[in-house]
């Protein structure tokens, strides 16, 4: 048997240890997307010619045994030098990532271990896997720091260590050697320190997400060197970043999603950011920004949501260019909790969050005050239709206000539940 592929079926039971008899003939073993249980048989170390080992999306449990996980690799497992893909993601596997995996050598391309119960640290020895393109270890219980030795992994394209709350330490500046990197995810970790300026060398970067961590310092202006026609997402909200917003970022023309909310940024919103001509979602809520909202932002053709609430902005909100048919996409404008903000509201139907501003209610243009809690995550609204219906619990009648001010934060809203339900449904489709 050279190739055994029977993924995405309804297989149950365990992986038979007797399969070790395939010995040196088996090269591809792919049984992902089934309902297999139990542990990975240690005798599979006899598969000395294996190239692809894929058991993703099953219910395999226990520690990664012997040759495939915890403890040390036995001598016979060192013959797995042809291994290219190791995918055990979305199971219930425990144990650690053993340093001996480094014996897989220079043919290894994919290590996919996300969504398990793995613990321990990231082995510095993995720096020997110099042909690795994808390292995906999201949603585990890994701890320790990001090894500087990983700088040798210069072919890395995708690096995911997000949703490991106990990964700590700083972002190693040595990772600037990853010049082929396209995706870097380290959100929902305890990573601290500053954003290394040396990461400006990531000229192929498409998505950078290190939100809900412990970052401090500034947004490096040199990140504007990230390829103008490549970078799509810059997401670093829920940190302690400070200083001003770099005007240089205006050259990032295809950035579609920028979220810097819940930090300590000061100064004004750069007018040059109107140069982000493909921007869809801009989130600057809960900082200490001052000055006015640049007209250039409201002229961005594909802008869908702009959130600048809970700052100290002043002046009049620029009117979107309603003569441009593409501006019909602009559906949510959040300027709430900027007491000196005012606006001449357009006649187009848009959702405006205006609580605690100087924007008056009128019976024709804005009959309701829309009030979000300070920590509201606007990601819950992205991609949802029927926004005005879903936001019902956030609306307050201007003409007939409640007897007492609306509480803050507001109760859980229907749209939050709807968003969760939609995401869960989407996950179930891919499970």
Reported as a single tens digit per residue, the pLDDT across 235-275 is 999 999 999 999 999 999 889 999 999 999 999 999 999 99
pLDDT tens digits, one per residue of 160-215: 999 999 999 999 999 999 999 999 999 999 999 999 999 999 999 999 999 999 99
Look at residue 188 and tell me if it is in a domain. no
What pLDDT is recorded for position 122?
97
pLDDT tens digits, one per residue of 287-341: 999 999 999 998 898 898 999 999 999 999 987 765 665 555 677 889 999 999 9
Q: What is the CA radius of gyration of the chain?
A: 25
pLDDT greater at residue 329 or residue 424? 329
Look at residue 162 and tell me if it is in a domain. no
Look at residue 364 and tell me if it is in a domain. yes
Print the domain residue range for 332.
218-430
Residue 429's H or E segment, with its range, is helix 414-430
142 by DSSP, 3-state: which? coil
Domain count within the chain: 1
Burial of 85 (0-12, 13-18, 19+ CB in 10 A): middle
Look at residue 119 and tell me if it is in a domain. no
Beta bridge partners of residue 85, listed in sequence order: 52, 110
What pLDDT is recorded for position 296?
94
Cα 252 to chain centroid distance, Å, stands at 19
Look at residue 91 and tell me if it is in a domain. no
- Distance (Å, whole) CA 369 – CA 395: 6
What pLDDT is recorded for position 79?
64
Look at residue 241 and tell me if it is in a domain. yes
What pLDDT is recorded for position 321?
65
- 37: pLDDT strictly greater than 50: yes
Structure confidence at residue 96 as a pLDDT band (50, 70, 90): confident
CATH code for the domain in which residue 245 is found: 3.80.10.10
Among residues 345, 391, 395, the alpha carbon closest in space to that of 371 is found at 395
- Distance (Å, whole) CA 272 – CA 246: 9
pLDDT greater at residue 206 or residue 347? 206
In sequence order, the 6+-apart residues with CB closer than 8 A to the CB of 341 are 313, 314, 315, 316, 317, 335, 357, 358, 359
pLDDT greater at residue 58 or residue 406? 58
Polymer length in residues for the chain:
431
- Distance (Å, whole) CA 192 – CA 354: 34
- 106: pLDDT strictly greater than 90: no
Number of neighbouring beta carbons within 10 Å of residue 214: 15
Structure confidence at residue 110 as a pLDDT band (50, 70, 90): very high
Cβ atoms of 122 and 146 within 8 Å: the answer is yes
- 65: pLDDT strictly greater than 70: no
Look at residue 146 and tell me if it is in a domain. no
Structure confidence at residue 384 as a pLDDT band (50, 70, 90): low
- 216: pLDDT strictly greater than 60: yes
The pair of three-digit structure tokens given for residue 429, joined into one six-digit string: 């489709």
- Distance (Å, whole) CA 116 – CA 102: 20
What pLDDT is recorded for position 382?
67
Look at residue 95 and tell me if it is in a domain. no
pLDDT greater at residue 5 or residue 405? 5
Structure confidence at residue 70 as a pLDDT band (50, 70, 90): very low
What pLDDT is recorded for position 366?
62
Terminal C-alpha separation, the chain: 28
């Amino acid at each position: 048997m050279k190739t055994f592929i029977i993924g995405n079926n309804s297989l149950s039971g365990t992986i038979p240890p007797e399969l070790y008899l395939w010995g040196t003939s088996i090269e591809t073993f792919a049984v992902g997307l089934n309902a297999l249980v139990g542990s990975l048989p240690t005798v599979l170390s006899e598969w000395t010619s294996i190239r692809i080992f894929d058991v993703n999306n099953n219910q395999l449990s226990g520690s990664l045994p012997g040759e495939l996980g915890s403890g040390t690799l036995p001598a016979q497992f060192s013959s797995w030098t042809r291994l290219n893909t190791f995918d055990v993601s979305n199971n219930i596997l425990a144990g650690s990532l053993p340093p001996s995996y480094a014996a897989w050598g220079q043919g290894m391309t994919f290590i996919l271990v996300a969504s398990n119960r793995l613990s321990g640290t990231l082995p510095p020895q993995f720096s020997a896997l110099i042909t690795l393109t994808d390292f995906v270890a999201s949603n585990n219980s890994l701890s320790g720091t990001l090894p500087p030795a990983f700088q040798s992994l210069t072919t890395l394209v995708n690096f995911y260590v997000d949703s490991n709350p106990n990964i700590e330490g700083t972002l190693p500046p040595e990772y600037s050697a990853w010049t082929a990197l396209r995706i870097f995810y380290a959100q929902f970790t305890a990573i601290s320190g500053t954003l290394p300026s040396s990461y400006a060398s990531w000229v192929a970067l498409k998505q950078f997400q290190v939100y809900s961590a412990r970052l401090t310092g500034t947004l490096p202006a040199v990140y504007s060197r990230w390829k103008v026609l490549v970078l799509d997402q810059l997401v670093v909200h829920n940190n302690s970043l400070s200083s001003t917003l770099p005007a240089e970022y205006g050259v990032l023309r295809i950035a579609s999603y920028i979220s810097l909310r819940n930090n300590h940024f000061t100064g004004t919103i750069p007018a040059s950011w109107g140069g982000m001509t493909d921007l869809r979602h801009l989130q600057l809520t809960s900082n200490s920004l001052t000055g006015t909202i640049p007209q250039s932002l409201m002229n961005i053709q594909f802008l869908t949501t702009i959130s600048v609430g809970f700052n100290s902005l002043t002046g009049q909100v620029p009117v979107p260019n309603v003569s441009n048919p593409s501006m019909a996409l602009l559906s949510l404008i959040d300027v709430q909790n900027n007491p000196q903000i005012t606006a001449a509201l357009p006649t187009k139907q848009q959702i405006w969050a205006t609580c605690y501003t100087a924007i008056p209610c009128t019976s024709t243009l804005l009959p309701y005050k829309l009030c979000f809690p300070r920590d509201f995550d606007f990601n819950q609204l992205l991609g949802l239709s029927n926004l005005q219906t879903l936001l019902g619990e956030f609306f307050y009648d201007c003409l007939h206000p409640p007897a007492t001010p609306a509480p803050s934060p507001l109760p859980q809203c229907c749209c939050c539940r709807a968003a969760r339900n939609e995401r869960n449904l989407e996950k179930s489709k891919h499970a």
